[in-house]
Chains A and B, each alone.
Chain A
């Protein structure tokens, strides 16, 4: 199959899964809930509806190729950073650092990713911004909770901009025999990590008994975790045909993605819990905020990027 045919069949498959989910959701609503309000079923249906929108948006960005995908993830980073900084303690003196984060660092990182300048975009935020932000903070002379304020802005930038930008960075990998198909690498990552979230939710709702982290995220169960991660890993293996991996390589990659994704969700939940909120925001009906939907992608993307880059990427031969 050509890359375009692969992409179309993939999206057709996702559409079929969503259609099935919508039918199940509708059956639950009319059958089990008899059309009456039911928080769990209504939330499930809101989530399914939001999934349609998210798949549509991703599909649309794929149609525009690299610029479309870069733009999409730049906006995703923007929404995520906005949610993160809203829940973070800042003072008037942080204005300059925050303005720089939103209006300079974020666009710059995505422009660097667009031009595929790996040597710079991989150190831009961890080195340059890491050192320049405290300078922007210290010139204001406000020392109150200085280390805390500075660290939080940096952590927000790493999570919301640096980590997320590794999703579109997959486009620039040069994998022999896989030319022109890098969009599918993004699809693989997103499908595996999101289906892991969904399957953990489903397994947990059906068989969940033993809480895995009661103090951090009371809704996560051992049954959900094991069932979700294993079935999403199996799904990853079954998707090997869209990747440069063979089935067992795809399974191991999916496993790495799923484990990172799970702990990403846990870490981001711990922050929410500490801040006393249930969701990061309210952008996505039924899911919460952008970061609620993305917590697992954030942790999985850079690891997936580097594993793939280390073993499969071949530097373009000069000349």
Chain B
């Protein structure tokens, strides 16, 4: 018997895929169960669901989105979805109130053999820029998990599906393009690694009109 949590997860996947017809194009690597950090551009609240729904079932069970506890622990429903359905790794984005080190929380997941979904821009991009500058967390995570593969995932169209402040998503087709994995090179520092991961993600973006 599938649990209620699993049923909700299945329903979320079916709904997301039915609405957006989302396709995941693996152009840089194949789906594999090795510990990976999928990192993506962040335009809408639906981004987690998109990546998560598009992963093959066996990978999805072992892939956990990293999300801000300030947003996801507000209200019973959000908390339930975050903790039980998508099994998010909830981190406190405010260094003042933080009791746990986010990098340690994420490292524990990777060491357990699971994968992560992160949005290195740190927040939703509501500007006209294609991609905001990355926070340095992605480097610190790579430093703590030197064997983990960092896999760029460009999400196209999610912003049009759920524009800022709108509750009802529009049915438009989304495409997720998965690039080649990146690992931290020996001796590579923050100022080299962070832009390198960002450029790899931008390279997956379809040409503008």
Q: A: which residues have CB within 8 A of B?
A: 78-79, 82-83, 85-86, 89-90, 92, 95, 98-99, 102-103, 275-276, 281-283
Verify if B60 is at the interface (C-beta below 8 Å from A): no
Known: A82-B171, A82-B173. A89 touches B209 (CB 8 A): yes
Complex CA gap A83/B207 in Å reads 18
Nearest chain-A residue to B169 (Cβ)?
A99
Q: For A99, what are the chain B residues with a Cβ–Cβ distance below 8 Å? A: 168, 170
Known: A86-B157, A90-B160. A282 touches B23 (CB 8 A): yes
Complex CA gap A102/B160 in Å reads 14
Structural contact, B166 and A83, CB atoms closer than 8 A? no
- 21 inter-chain pairs at a CB distance below 8 angstroms, sorted by A residue, are A78-B171, A79-B21, A82-B21, A82-B171, A82-B172, A82-B173, A85-B170, A86-B157, A86-B173, A89-B209, A95-B163, A95-B166, A95-B170, A98-B170, A99-B168, A102-B170, A102-B171, A103-B168, A281-B173, A282-B21, A283-B21
A164 to chain B, nearest CB (A): 16
The tally of residues in B whose CB lies under 8 Å from a CB in A reads 14
B193 to chain A, nearest CB (A): 34
Nearest chain-B residue to A82 (Cβ)?
B171
A141 to chain B, nearest CB (A): 15
Q: For B173, what are the chain A residues with a Cβ–Cβ distance below 8 Å? A: 82-83, 86, 281
Complex CA gap A102/B19 in Å reads 12
The 7 A-B residue pairs with the shortest CB-CB distance, nearest first, are: A86-B173, A92-B163, A86-B172, A82-B171, A98-B170, A95-B163, A102-B171
Q: For B21, what are the chain A residues with a Cβ–Cβ distance below 8 Å? A: 79, 82, 281-283
A144 to chain B, nearest CB (A): 12
Complex CA gap A85/B174 in Å reads 12
